[in-house]
A and B are shown apart, each in its own frame.
Chain A
Amino acid sequence: MPNRKYLFFLGCVIPYRVPSYEVSARKICEKLGIELVETPEFNCCGLPLDPISHDMAMALAVRNLCLAEQKGLQIMTLCNGCAGTLRKVNKELKENKGLREKINGYLKEIGMEFKGTTEAKHFIQVLAEDIGFERIKEIVQKPFKNFKVAEHYGCHLLRPSREVAFDNPENPKVLKTLIEVTGAKCLDYIDETQCCGATIIGVNSEIPLQLTREKLSHIKEAGAQTLITICPSCHLMFDTNQPRIERKIGEKFDLPVLHYPQLLALAAGISPDNLALKEHKTDASNILLFC
Protein backbone atom coordinates (compact mmCIF):
# COMPACT_ATOMS: atom_id res chain seq x y z
CA MET A 1 0.00 0.00 0.00
CA PRO A 2 1.77 3.18 -1.14
CA ASN A 3 1.89 6.03 1.31
CA ARG A 4 -0.66 8.66 0.32
CA LYS A 5 0.49 12.18 1.05
CA TYR A 6 -1.54 15.38 0.63
CA LEU A 7 -1.35 19.03 1.58
CA PHE A 8 -4.16 19.49 4.07
CA PHE A 9 -6.42 22.44 3.25
CA LEU A 10 -8.61 23.23 6.24
CA GLY A 11 -10.45 26.33 5.00
CA CYS A 12 -12.49 28.74 7.14
CA VAL A 13 -15.73 27.09 8.29
CA ILE A 14 -14.24 23.99 9.92
CA PRO A 15 -11.91 25.74 12.41
CA TYR A 16 -14.60 28.34 13.06
CA ARG A 17 -17.64 26.15 13.68
CA VAL A 18 -17.13 22.43 12.93
CA PRO A 19 -14.01 21.02 14.66
CA SER A 20 -15.70 17.59 14.99
CA TYR A 21 -15.27 17.06 11.25
CA GLU A 22 -11.53 17.72 11.39
CA VAL A 23 -11.07 15.57 14.51
CA SER A 24 -12.79 12.55 12.96
CA ALA A 25 -11.26 12.96 9.48
CA ARG A 26 -7.76 13.03 10.99
CA LYS A 27 -8.51 9.78 12.85
CA ILE A 28 -9.57 8.11 9.60
CA CYS A 29 -6.52 9.40 7.73
CA GLU A 30 -4.28 7.97 10.45
CA LYS A 31 -6.05 4.61 10.23
CA LEU A 32 -5.79 4.45 6.42
CA GLY A 33 -2.20 5.69 6.20
CA ILE A 34 -3.11 8.99 4.57
CA GLU A 35 -0.38 11.47 5.44
CA LEU A 36 -1.58 15.06 5.91
CA VAL A 37 1.07 17.74 5.39
CA GLU A 38 0.21 20.96 7.23
CA THR A 39 0.67 24.09 5.13
CA PRO A 40 0.91 27.22 7.25
CA GLU A 41 0.82 29.62 4.29
CA PHE A 42 -2.60 28.70 2.87
CA ASN A 43 -5.38 31.32 2.83
CA CYS A 44 -9.16 31.22 2.27
CA CYS A 45 -10.10 29.35 -0.94
CA GLY A 46 -11.71 32.51 -2.32
CA LEU A 47 -15.33 31.31 -2.53
CA PRO A 48 -16.77 33.84 -0.03
CA LEU A 49 -15.55 36.74 -2.18
CA ASP A 50 -16.70 35.32 -5.53
CA PRO A 51 -20.09 37.12 -5.48
CA ILE A 52 -18.36 40.50 -5.08
CA SER A 53 -15.10 40.04 -6.99
CA HIS A 54 -14.43 37.00 -9.15
CA ASP A 55 -10.89 38.20 -9.90
CA MET A 56 -9.96 38.47 -6.22
CA ALA A 57 -11.61 35.11 -5.49
CA MET A 58 -9.65 33.46 -8.30
CA ALA A 59 -6.40 35.09 -7.18
CA LEU A 60 -6.89 33.69 -3.66
CA ALA A 61 -7.67 30.21 -5.03
CA VAL A 62 -4.71 30.22 -7.40
CA ARG A 63 -2.30 31.34 -4.68
CA ASN A 64 -3.22 28.15 -2.80
CA LEU A 65 -2.80 26.03 -5.94
CA CYS A 66 0.63 27.61 -6.59
CA LEU A 67 1.77 26.70 -3.07
CA ALA A 68 0.80 23.08 -3.81
CA GLU A 69 2.64 23.20 -7.13
CA GLN A 70 5.76 24.49 -5.38
CA LYS A 71 5.62 21.61 -2.90
CA GLY A 72 4.89 19.04 -5.62
CA LEU A 73 1.87 17.66 -3.77
CA GLN A 74 -1.90 17.47 -4.29
CA ILE A 75 -4.35 19.30 -2.02
CA MET A 76 -6.89 17.45 0.10
CA THR A 77 -9.77 19.35 1.69
CA LEU A 78 -12.79 18.34 3.81
CA CYS A 79 -15.03 21.18 2.65
CA ASN A 80 -17.22 21.06 -0.47
CA GLY A 81 -16.86 24.80 -0.97
CA CYS A 82 -13.05 24.70 -0.88
CA ALA A 83 -12.87 21.55 -3.04
CA GLY A 84 -15.34 22.93 -5.58
CA THR A 85 -13.58 26.28 -5.84
CA LEU A 86 -10.04 24.92 -6.07
CA ARG A 87 -11.06 22.24 -8.61
CA LYS A 88 -13.07 24.65 -10.74
CA VAL A 89 -10.38 27.34 -10.86
CA ASN A 90 -7.63 24.76 -11.44
CA LYS A 91 -9.47 23.29 -14.43
CA GLU A 92 -10.43 26.67 -15.88
CA LEU A 93 -6.87 27.94 -15.72
CA LYS A 94 -5.43 24.75 -17.18
CA GLU A 95 -7.81 24.99 -20.15
CA ASN A 96 -8.10 28.74 -20.73
CA LYS A 97 -4.79 30.34 -21.74
CA GLY A 98 -6.13 33.89 -21.73
CA LEU A 99 -7.53 33.53 -18.23
CA ARG A 100 -4.31 31.90 -17.04
CA GLU A 101 -2.26 34.81 -18.33
CA LYS A 102 -4.59 37.32 -16.71
CA ILE A 103 -4.42 35.63 -13.28
CA ASN A 104 -0.67 35.05 -13.59
CA GLY A 105 -0.41 38.79 -14.13
CA TYR A 106 -1.94 39.30 -10.68
CA LEU A 107 0.28 36.61 -9.15
CA LYS A 108 3.46 38.17 -10.51
CA GLU A 109 3.15 40.73 -7.72
CA ILE A 110 3.74 38.00 -5.14
CA GLY A 111 6.35 36.11 -7.16
CA MET A 112 4.13 33.18 -8.09
CA GLU A 113 3.04 31.60 -11.36
CA PHE A 114 0.30 29.05 -12.04
CA LYS A 115 1.70 26.16 -14.06
CA GLY A 116 -1.12 23.64 -13.86
CA THR A 117 0.81 20.78 -12.27
CA THR A 118 -1.33 19.97 -9.24
CA GLU A 119 -4.78 18.64 -8.34
CA ALA A 120 -7.17 19.52 -5.54
CA LYS A 121 -9.37 16.77 -4.12
CA HIS A 122 -12.17 16.42 -1.62
CA PHE A 123 -11.61 13.91 1.19
CA ILE A 124 -14.42 11.74 -0.23
CA GLN A 125 -12.67 11.68 -3.61
CA VAL A 126 -9.41 10.66 -1.98
CA LEU A 127 -11.21 7.82 -0.18
CA ALA A 128 -13.05 6.61 -3.28
CA GLU A 129 -10.43 7.14 -5.99
CA ASP A 130 -7.03 6.97 -4.29
CA ILE A 131 -7.64 4.63 -1.36
CA GLY A 132 -10.46 2.50 -2.76
CA PHE A 133 -13.52 0.79 -1.31
CA GLU A 134 -11.67 -2.51 -0.75
CA ARG A 135 -9.02 -0.94 1.47
CA ILE A 136 -11.67 0.95 3.43
CA LYS A 137 -13.61 -2.28 3.93
CA GLU A 138 -10.50 -3.73 5.59
CA ILE A 139 -10.63 -1.25 8.46
CA VAL A 140 -14.32 -1.94 9.20
CA GLN A 141 -14.10 -4.18 12.25
CA LYS A 142 -17.54 -3.57 13.74
CA PRO A 143 -20.01 -3.20 10.85
CA PHE A 144 -23.32 -1.55 11.71
CA LYS A 145 -26.37 -3.78 11.97
CA ASN A 146 -29.93 -2.70 11.10
CA PHE A 147 -28.78 0.90 10.85
CA LYS A 148 -30.61 3.03 8.27
CA VAL A 149 -29.08 6.34 7.22
CA ALA A 150 -29.48 8.95 4.50
CA GLU A 151 -26.80 11.05 2.82
CA HIS A 152 -26.57 14.67 1.78
CA TYR A 153 -23.77 15.30 -0.73
CA GLY A 154 -23.86 19.07 -0.88
CA CYS A 155 -23.60 20.91 -4.19
CA HIS A 156 -19.99 21.85 -4.77
CA LEU A 157 -18.61 18.33 -4.77
CA LEU A 158 -20.83 17.57 -7.78
CA ARG A 159 -21.53 20.86 -9.56
CA PRO A 160 -20.78 22.53 -11.90
CA SER A 161 -20.20 18.98 -13.17
CA ARG A 162 -18.09 19.95 -16.17
CA GLU A 163 -15.55 21.62 -13.93
CA VAL A 164 -15.59 19.56 -10.73
CA ALA A 165 -15.96 16.30 -12.68
CA PHE A 166 -16.86 13.88 -9.89
CA ASP A 167 -19.61 11.24 -9.69
CA ASN A 168 -23.01 11.77 -11.35
CA PRO A 169 -24.66 15.02 -10.17
CA GLU A 170 -28.19 13.79 -10.91
CA ASN A 171 -27.76 10.38 -9.31
CA PRO A 172 -24.56 10.27 -7.25
CA LYS A 173 -23.39 6.91 -5.92
CA VAL A 174 -19.92 7.29 -4.41
CA LEU A 175 -20.97 8.45 -0.93
CA LYS A 176 -23.69 5.77 -0.79
CA THR A 177 -21.12 3.10 -1.56
CA LEU A 178 -18.77 4.51 1.09
CA ILE A 179 -21.63 4.43 3.61
CA GLU A 180 -22.63 0.86 2.78
CA VAL A 181 -19.04 -0.28 3.33
CA THR A 182 -19.69 0.42 7.04
CA GLY A 183 -22.64 -2.00 7.09
CA ALA A 184 -25.21 0.82 7.37
CA LYS A 185 -28.03 0.86 4.85
CA CYS A 186 -28.21 4.07 2.82
CA LEU A 187 -31.80 4.99 1.94
CA ASP A 188 -33.11 6.94 -1.05
CA TYR A 189 -35.31 9.98 -0.41
CA ILE A 190 -37.05 12.73 -2.36
CA ASP A 191 -34.83 15.50 -3.79
CA GLU A 192 -31.65 13.95 -2.42
CA THR A 193 -29.29 16.22 -4.36
CA GLN A 194 -31.13 19.42 -3.49
CA CYS A 195 -29.09 22.27 -2.01
CA CYS A 196 -29.30 23.06 1.75
CA GLY A 197 -29.16 26.80 1.04
CA ALA A 198 -26.23 27.49 3.40
CA THR A 199 -24.41 29.86 1.03
CA ILE A 200 -27.06 32.58 1.24
CA ILE A 201 -27.82 32.40 4.96
CA GLY A 202 -25.92 35.68 5.49
CA VAL A 203 -28.24 37.43 3.03
CA ASN A 204 -31.53 35.66 3.75
CA SER A 205 -32.02 33.10 6.54
CA GLU A 206 -35.65 32.26 5.80
CA ILE A 207 -35.09 30.39 2.50
CA PRO A 208 -32.17 28.18 3.62
CA LEU A 209 -34.04 27.20 6.79
CA GLN A 210 -37.06 26.22 4.68
CA LEU A 211 -34.90 24.22 2.25
CA THR A 212 -33.26 22.37 5.13
CA ARG A 213 -36.61 21.84 6.86
CA GLU A 214 -38.01 20.25 3.71
CA LYS A 215 -35.00 17.95 3.36
CA LEU A 216 -35.18 16.93 7.03
CA SER A 217 -38.86 16.01 6.51
CA HIS A 218 -38.07 13.89 3.44
CA ILE A 219 -35.22 12.16 5.25
CA LYS A 220 -37.42 11.34 8.26
CA GLU A 221 -40.24 10.12 6.01
CA ALA A 222 -37.82 7.73 4.31
CA GLY A 223 -37.14 6.20 7.74
CA ALA A 224 -33.51 7.24 8.18
CA GLN A 225 -32.11 7.15 11.72
CA THR A 226 -29.17 9.42 10.95
CA LEU A 227 -28.03 11.82 8.26
CA ILE A 228 -24.49 11.68 6.88
CA THR A 229 -22.86 14.89 5.59
CA ILE A 230 -19.46 15.63 4.06
CA CYS A 231 -19.40 19.44 4.09
CA PRO A 232 -19.08 21.76 7.11
CA SER A 233 -21.62 24.28 5.75
CA CYS A 234 -24.23 21.57 5.13
CA HIS A 235 -23.50 20.24 8.62
CA LEU A 236 -24.25 23.69 10.09
CA MET A 237 -27.63 23.69 8.35
CA PHE A 238 -28.71 20.16 9.29
CA ASP A 239 -27.13 19.86 12.73
CA THR A 240 -26.46 23.29 14.23
CA ASN A 241 -29.65 24.81 12.82
CA GLN A 242 -31.88 21.78 13.44
CA PRO A 243 -33.12 23.01 16.87
CA ARG A 244 -33.78 26.44 15.33
CA ILE A 245 -35.90 24.88 12.57
CA GLU A 246 -37.72 22.72 15.12
CA ARG A 247 -38.60 25.77 17.23
CA LYS A 248 -39.75 27.64 14.15
CA ILE A 249 -42.18 24.99 12.95
CA GLY A 250 -43.07 23.45 16.31
CA GLU A 251 -42.12 19.95 15.19
CA LYS A 252 -39.32 17.64 16.36
CA PHE A 253 -37.01 15.85 13.92
CA ASP A 254 -34.53 14.40 16.44
CA LEU A 255 -32.31 13.39 13.55
CA PRO A 256 -28.65 12.92 14.50
CA VAL A 257 -26.20 14.25 11.91
CA LEU A 258 -22.76 12.66 11.49
CA HIS A 259 -19.80 13.55 9.32
CA TYR A 260 -18.91 10.58 7.11
CA PRO A 261 -15.55 10.02 8.89
CA GLN A 262 -17.41 9.74 12.22
CA LEU A 263 -19.58 6.96 10.78
CA LEU A 264 -16.57 5.16 9.33
CA ALA A 265 -14.58 5.62 12.55
CA LEU A 266 -17.33 4.01 14.66
CA ALA A 267 -17.41 1.04 12.27
CA ALA A 268 -13.62 0.88 12.44
CA GLY A 269 -13.82 0.43 16.20
CA ILE A 270 -12.51 3.90 17.11
CA SER A 271 -13.96 4.99 20.46
CA PRO A 272 -16.89 7.44 20.16
CA ASP A 273 -15.16 9.45 22.91
CA ASN A 274 -12.46 10.38 20.40
CA LEU A 275 -14.82 11.69 17.70
CA ALA A 276 -16.02 14.98 19.24
CA LEU A 277 -19.67 13.83 18.97
CA LYS A 278 -20.56 16.11 21.87
CA GLU A 279 -19.77 19.11 19.68
CA HIS A 280 -22.95 18.46 17.71
CA LYS A 281 -26.29 20.05 18.51
CA THR A 282 -28.14 16.83 17.68
CA ASP A 283 -27.85 13.83 20.01
CA ALA A 284 -25.79 11.01 18.51
CA SER A 285 -25.90 8.69 21.54
CA ASN A 286 -28.55 6.36 20.07
CA ILE A 287 -26.31 5.58 17.11
CA LEU A 288 -24.02 3.64 19.42
CA LEU A 289 -26.79 1.02 19.81
CA PHE A 290 -26.23 -0.05 16.20
CA CYS A 291 -22.46 -0.48 16.49
Chain B
Amino acid sequence: MTERMEASAEIAKPIRLDPRFRREIMAIHGGETLKICFQCGTCTSSCPIARFSRSYRPRQIIQMTQLGMKSKVLSSETLWLCAACFTCTDRCPQGVEVASVLRVLRNLAVKEGFVPAVYRELASNILGTGYAYKITALQLRKREEFGLPPLPKANIGDIAKLAQSTDFSKLIETRGVSSA
Protein backbone atom coordinates (compact mmCIF):
# COMPACT_ATOMS: atom_id res chain seq x y z
CA MET B 1 0.00 0.00 0.00
CA THR B 2 2.71 2.46 1.03
CA GLU B 3 4.69 1.55 -2.08
CA ARG B 4 1.73 2.28 -4.31
CA MET B 5 1.13 5.62 -2.66
CA GLU B 6 4.75 6.60 -3.15
CA ALA B 7 4.63 5.65 -6.80
CA SER B 8 1.48 7.65 -7.42
CA ALA B 9 2.97 10.63 -5.62
CA GLU B 10 5.86 10.50 -8.05
CA ILE B 11 3.57 10.31 -11.06
CA ALA B 12 1.54 13.27 -9.82
CA LYS B 13 4.65 15.50 -9.60
CA PRO B 14 3.84 18.52 -11.78
CA ILE B 15 6.03 19.44 -14.74
CA ARG B 16 6.65 23.11 -15.26
CA LEU B 17 5.61 24.09 -18.77
CA ASP B 18 6.38 27.31 -20.56
CA PRO B 19 3.74 27.89 -23.24
CA ARG B 20 5.87 30.64 -24.82
CA PHE B 21 8.82 28.32 -25.41
CA ARG B 22 7.69 26.99 -28.80
CA ARG B 23 7.07 30.51 -30.08
CA GLU B 24 10.51 31.54 -28.84
CA ILE B 25 12.11 28.70 -30.84
CA MET B 26 10.02 29.33 -33.96
CA ALA B 27 11.07 32.99 -34.00
CA ILE B 28 14.77 32.03 -34.37
CA HIS B 29 16.34 31.24 -37.76
CA GLY B 30 16.29 27.43 -38.09
CA GLY B 31 13.49 26.89 -35.56
CA GLU B 32 10.56 27.89 -37.81
CA THR B 33 9.49 24.35 -38.74
CA LEU B 34 9.03 23.13 -35.15
CA LYS B 35 5.25 23.45 -35.26
CA ILE B 36 4.67 21.16 -38.26
CA CYS B 37 6.14 18.05 -36.61
CA PHE B 38 3.42 15.37 -36.29
CA GLN B 39 5.54 12.96 -34.23
CA CYS B 40 5.93 10.15 -36.78
CA GLY B 41 9.40 9.27 -35.44
CA THR B 42 11.21 9.09 -38.79
CA CYS B 43 13.96 11.25 -37.26
CA THR B 44 14.66 8.91 -34.34
CA SER B 45 14.48 5.78 -36.48
CA SER B 46 16.96 7.32 -38.96
CA CYS B 47 19.29 8.71 -36.30
CA PRO B 48 22.72 7.00 -36.09
CA ILE B 49 23.27 8.35 -32.57
CA ALA B 50 19.92 7.06 -31.27
CA ARG B 51 21.02 3.55 -32.27
CA PHE B 52 23.80 3.62 -29.70
CA SER B 53 22.41 6.01 -27.10
CA ARG B 54 19.85 5.06 -24.48
CA SER B 55 18.71 8.63 -24.03
CA TYR B 56 19.06 10.60 -27.26
CA ARG B 57 15.77 10.64 -29.18
CA PRO B 58 15.27 13.61 -31.54
CA ARG B 59 11.50 12.99 -31.81
CA GLN B 60 11.21 13.24 -28.04
CA ILE B 61 13.19 16.48 -27.84
CA ILE B 62 10.93 17.99 -30.53
CA GLN B 63 7.81 16.91 -28.63
CA MET B 64 9.10 18.24 -25.30
CA THR B 65 9.88 21.53 -27.04
CA GLN B 66 6.39 21.71 -28.56
CA LEU B 67 4.91 21.10 -25.12
CA GLY B 68 6.99 23.87 -23.54
CA MET B 69 9.24 21.78 -21.28
CA LYS B 70 11.87 24.50 -21.48
CA SER B 71 14.06 23.90 -18.47
CA LYS B 72 14.10 20.13 -18.96
CA VAL B 73 15.06 20.44 -22.64
CA LEU B 74 17.70 23.14 -22.21
CA SER B 75 19.42 21.48 -19.26
CA SER B 76 19.44 18.06 -20.92
CA GLU B 77 22.86 16.57 -21.68
CA THR B 78 21.41 14.59 -24.58
CA LEU B 79 20.87 17.83 -26.49
CA TRP B 80 24.61 17.80 -27.16
CA LEU B 81 24.64 14.31 -28.70
CA CYS B 82 23.27 15.40 -32.10
CA ALA B 83 26.10 14.78 -34.61
CA ALA B 84 24.53 17.21 -37.12
CA CYS B 85 24.54 14.54 -39.85
CA PHE B 86 21.22 15.98 -41.09
CA THR B 87 19.73 12.55 -41.91
CA CYS B 88 16.64 13.49 -39.85
CA THR B 89 16.22 16.78 -41.72
CA ASP B 90 16.58 15.08 -45.11
CA ARG B 91 14.12 12.29 -44.31
CA CYS B 92 11.40 14.20 -42.42
CA PRO B 93 8.13 13.75 -44.38
CA GLN B 94 6.86 17.06 -43.00
CA GLY B 95 9.92 19.09 -43.87
CA VAL B 96 10.85 19.77 -40.26
CA GLU B 97 14.44 20.94 -40.07
CA VAL B 98 15.08 18.70 -37.08
CA ALA B 99 18.84 19.24 -36.87
CA SER B 100 18.40 23.02 -37.12
CA VAL B 101 15.75 23.04 -34.37
CA LEU B 102 18.20 21.11 -32.19
CA ARG B 103 20.92 23.64 -32.99
CA VAL B 104 18.57 26.48 -31.98
CA LEU B 105 17.96 24.64 -28.70
CA ARG B 106 21.68 24.18 -28.05
CA ASN B 107 22.34 27.87 -28.78
CA LEU B 108 19.65 28.75 -26.22
CA ALA B 109 21.03 26.26 -23.70
CA VAL B 110 24.35 28.15 -23.88
CA LYS B 111 22.54 31.40 -23.00
CA GLU B 112 21.15 29.56 -19.96
CA GLY B 113 24.69 28.58 -18.98
CA PHE B 114 24.82 24.97 -20.24
CA VAL B 115 27.86 24.33 -22.41
CA PRO B 116 30.14 21.27 -22.70
CA ALA B 117 33.81 21.96 -21.94
CA VAL B 118 34.99 21.09 -25.46
CA TYR B 119 33.17 24.13 -26.88
CA ARG B 120 34.88 26.45 -24.41
CA GLU B 121 38.21 25.26 -25.76
CA LEU B 122 37.17 25.54 -29.43
CA ALA B 123 35.83 29.08 -28.84
CA SER B 124 39.01 30.10 -27.07
CA ASN B 125 41.19 28.73 -29.89
CA ILE B 126 39.15 30.38 -32.64
CA LEU B 127 39.17 33.76 -30.91
CA GLY B 128 42.89 33.46 -30.20
CA THR B 129 44.15 32.07 -33.52
CA GLY B 130 41.28 32.06 -36.01
CA TYR B 131 41.34 28.27 -36.09
CA ALA B 132 39.79 25.54 -33.96
CA TYR B 133 43.07 23.86 -33.01
CA LYS B 134 46.45 25.17 -31.98
CA ILE B 135 49.15 23.97 -34.34
CA THR B 136 52.39 22.99 -32.60
CA ALA B 137 55.96 23.79 -33.67
CA LEU B 138 56.42 20.09 -34.43
CA GLN B 139 53.46 20.10 -36.79
CA LEU B 140 54.81 23.20 -38.52
CA ARG B 141 58.22 21.52 -38.98
CA LYS B 142 56.50 18.49 -40.46
CA ARG B 143 54.71 20.73 -42.97
CA GLU B 144 58.08 22.02 -44.11
CA GLU B 145 59.43 18.48 -44.45
CA PHE B 146 56.46 17.59 -46.65
CA GLY B 147 57.14 20.70 -48.74
CA LEU B 148 53.76 22.23 -47.82
CA PRO B 149 53.33 26.03 -47.95
CA PRO B 150 53.07 28.05 -44.72
CA LEU B 151 49.70 27.99 -42.97
CA PRO B 152 47.30 30.89 -43.44
CA LYS B 153 47.26 33.34 -40.55
CA ALA B 154 43.76 34.51 -39.77
CA ASN B 155 42.91 38.14 -39.12
CA ILE B 156 42.34 38.03 -35.36
CA GLY B 157 41.24 41.66 -35.28
CA ASP B 158 38.40 40.91 -37.71
CA ILE B 159 37.34 37.88 -35.67
CA ALA B 160 37.27 39.94 -32.47
CA LYS B 161 35.04 42.52 -34.20
CA LEU B 162 32.67 39.81 -35.46
CA ALA B 163 32.53 38.36 -31.94
CA GLN B 164 31.51 41.83 -30.73
CA SER B 165 28.85 42.48 -33.36
CA THR B 166 27.26 39.01 -33.07
CA ASP B 167 27.21 39.33 -29.25
CA PHE B 168 29.46 36.26 -29.05
CA SER B 169 31.87 38.21 -26.82
CA LYS B 170 29.05 39.01 -24.43
CA LEU B 171 28.01 35.36 -24.37
CA ILE B 172 31.56 34.42 -23.45
CA GLU B 173 31.81 37.00 -20.71
CA THR B 174 28.45 36.25 -19.12
CA ARG B 175 28.43 32.48 -19.58
CA GLY B 176 32.13 31.75 -19.33
CA VAL B 177 32.14 30.03 -22.70
CA SER B 178 35.80 30.80 -23.14
CA SER B 179 38.42 29.46 -20.78
CA ALA B 180 40.90 32.12 -21.94
Contacts and interface: CB of A to CB of B under 8 A. Distances in A.
Interface of A: 10, 12-13, 15-17, 19, 22-23, 26, 38-44, 48-56, 59-60, 63, 99, 105-110, 155-156, 159-162, 169, 194-195, 197-200, 202-204, 206-208, 210-211, 276
Given A49-B122, A52-B119, A159 B86 contact: yes
When A and B form their complex, which 8 residue pairs have the shortest distance between CB atoms, in order from nearest?
Answer: A202-B118, A159-B86, A43-B154, A195-B85, A12-B132, A56-B168, A43-B130, A16-B133
B152 A42 contact: yes
B151 interface: yes
A56 B123 CA distance: 10
A164 B97 CA distance: 14
A197 B48 contact: yes
Nearest to B154: A43
Nearest to A62: B162
A44 B132 contact: yes
B18 interface: no
A19 B146 contact: yes
A202 B83 CA distance: 11
B142 A59 contact: no
Contact of B48 (A15, A49, A194): A194
Chain B interface main SS type: helix
B152 A106 contact: no
Interface string B79-105: 011111111011000000101000110
A244 to B, nearest CB: 16
A56 B162 contact: yes
Nearest to B89: A160
A252 to B, nearest CB: 22
Given A53-B110, A159-B90, A169-B90, A44 B83 contact: no
B47 to A, nearest CB: 9
B168 A53 contact: yes
A105 B80 CA distance: 29
Contact of A211 (B48, B126, B146, B163): B48
Contact of A51 (B49, B85, B103, B163): B103
Contacts of A106: 162, 165-166
A197 B49 contact: yes
Centre residue among A38, A63, A160 by max chain B CB count within 10 A:
A160
A19 B141 CA distance: 12
Contact of A23 (B85, B97, B146): B146
Given A42-B154, A44-B132, A202-B118, A53 B171 contact: yes
A195 B123 contact: no
Given A10-B152, A12-B131, A202-B118, A195 B168 contact: no
B34 interface: no
Contact of B118 (A40, A60, A203): A203
B138 to A, nearest CB: 12
Nearest to B53: A207
A250 B161 CA distance: 50
B116 A50 contact: no
B119 A211 contact: no
Contacts of A43: 126, 130-131, 154-155, 158-159
B131 A44 contact: yes
Contacts of A276: 146
Contact of A155 (B85, B110, B118, B167): B85
A49 B119 CA distance: 7
Contacts of B158: 43, 63, 110
Contacts of B90: 159-162, 169
B52 A210 contact: yes
Contact of A38 (B49, B152, B177): B152
Contacts of A12: 131-133
Given A48-B122, A55-B167, A204-B80, 6 more contacts: A41-B154, A48-B126, A52-B115, A159-B86, A202-B116, A207-B53
Contacts of B135: 15-16
